[in-house]
Chains A and B, each alone.
Chain A
């Protein structure tokens, strides 16, 4: 398997009994990039959380970056986690914190406690933080406070933090949900380019099908906790997408033009 990840017969239920994931079989080679799509409640966030070792699966075997996370000691798990970067949909940033500190927090898993404390007094790698932000056109905001930024800018700070972390496995949970279409497209482009350049395994959940189809070579369709399809993107058909997002409402009559993709996307947008 090398240093990608693999899930075998993975299952997880929430504490209220609701089944989140069932019998997931999925694996990735190192450096692979894939998009996960599906209706809301499909289990995408749970999936990413398990992949980030934040949630422990109820059933099944998982191997991430060559290790079984839940068989590791505390120290080893911490080390593994420092190699996994999760971009949250809602950036977990304290409002009063400055952007530079928020970004530098990406490497906390690799820093000693002393270095972390010193960095609070005077940031130890301002240039590094700036570089990460510059990749997302946010370089000028380096010394501003997080509560002075818009939603889309905050999301990019969250992304910059993960970029600064330099993980081997990069995960993104709806990373561009607060951005306009042009910015979303650009940001995903930058992320996939970054992943390609660094050979980073990249998994992103997206609600914008167009972007997913455009930038990712592999697409996973998740619905009600089960994988509906796992295909190279060119092989993903309209019909498959329709079935994926089908709800109790009658689905609109579609032909295979790009317009209908947009219509489809708009009807089932989360």
Chain B
């Protein structure tokens, strides 16, 4: 019982996986090299004297940060503008997401809840909605912001619009997912009791998912705050635009202040979001 006597074609002195692993490794290297070239990966650039001087100078200005009253006022106004952008943007996003998300879930869940008719139309609408969402979500909001700045001019409006359409798409998709995965027990019970499909949807599916929906929305608002800052770099106002200006002038102490304020802002948004989500539960 103790010895392997089958066939002795089994080799217990060499690792059978070794060749495969070596090939994968070689393949990885072959792909890595051109990638490094494309990314112009050049660690030596770090040691370029002239670059160092500029950057070193800039960084050394970080301490102490600029706390001049006039500047701090500017920073405060920019911060409020950023918060306003994020809030307004998210609110508008909701306006878009709710009908869009409902349309998607409606067509899916309704057919699940009861007998379906108008199948073809619904399918068409669903495909359009999905295509729309790919475009809205695939293009980063900052690109939209860049475009809207060209149409509406510099300032927060461009940012608000950009957030509303990209986040609208994002929210719609997640709403649809949440509603789809929710428990349809109650809605089915309502239908059995004689309710119409719409009523069953609104009173059965929606309430159970309300908390999750709200929670995700708040989470998105928090992300919107950060996005608003970033969009400022392309002219959409707020803290980002201020930071972009200070950087272009290589004013390290101003950048330092704005960076600190930004970190505090993110912390604040994070805590607020956490608080609201806890209250919802």
Contacts and interface: CB of A to CB of B under 8 A. Distances in A.
Interface of A: 98, 100, 122-123, 126-127, 130, 134-135, 137, 139-140, 142-143
A143 B4 contact: no
A100 B2 CA distance: 19
B12 A126 contact: yes
B18 interface: yes
B49 to A, nearest CB: 39
B12 A127 contact: yes
Contacts of A140: 4, 10
B14 A126 contact: yes
A130 B4 CA distance: 11
B3 A134 contact: yes
Nearest to B25: A121
A99 to B, nearest CB: 12
B16 interface: yes
Given A126-B14, A134-B3, 5 more contacts: A127-B13, A130-B12, A137-B1, A140-B4, A143-B16
Most chain A CB neighbours (cut-off 10 Å) among B12, B15, B18:
B12
Interface string B4-21: 100000101111111000
Interface of B: 1-4, 10, 12-18
A95 B10 CA distance: 24
B162 to A, nearest CB: 44
Contacts, number: 26
B188 to A, nearest CB: 40
Contacts of A127: 12-13
A187 to B, nearest CB: 12
B3 A123 contact: no
Given A134-B2, A137-B2, A122 B15 contact: yes
B12 A139 contact: yes
Contacts of A98: 17
Contacts of A126: 12-15
Contacts of A142: 12
Nearest to A130: B12
Contacts of A100: 15
Contacts of A137: 1-2
Contacts of B14: 126
Nearest to A100: B15
Contacts of B12: 126-127, 130, 139, 142
A134 B4 CA distance: 8
A192 B87 CA distance: 74
A126 B2 CA distance: 18
B16 to A, nearest CB: 6
A98 B18 CA distance: 13
A123 B14 CA distance: 9
B29 to A, nearest CB: 15
Contacts of A123: 15
Contacts of B3: 134
Contacts of B16: 143
Nearest to A127: B13
A134 B13 CA distance: 14
**A-B CB proximity, top 9 nearest:** A130-B12, A139-B4, A143-B16, A126-B13, A123-B15, A127-B13, A122-B18, A122-B15, A142-B12
A135 B10 CA distance: 17
Contacts of A143: 15-17
Contacts of B17: 98, 143
Nearest to A126: B13
A165 B12 CA distance: 19
Nearest to B10: A140
Nearest to B16: A143
A37 to B, nearest CB: 28
Nearest to A135: B2
B7 to A, nearest CB: 11
A135 B2 CA distance: 7
A115 to B, nearest CB: 16
B61 to A, nearest CB: 45
Contacts of B4: 134, 139-140
A140 B8 CA distance: 11
B253 to A, nearest CB: 48
A222 to B, nearest CB: 33
A44 B253 CA distance: 66
A140 B16 CA distance: 13
Contacts of B10: 140
A142 B4 CA distance: 12
A183 to B, nearest CB: 11
A143 B16 CA distance: 8
B5 to A, nearest CB: 11
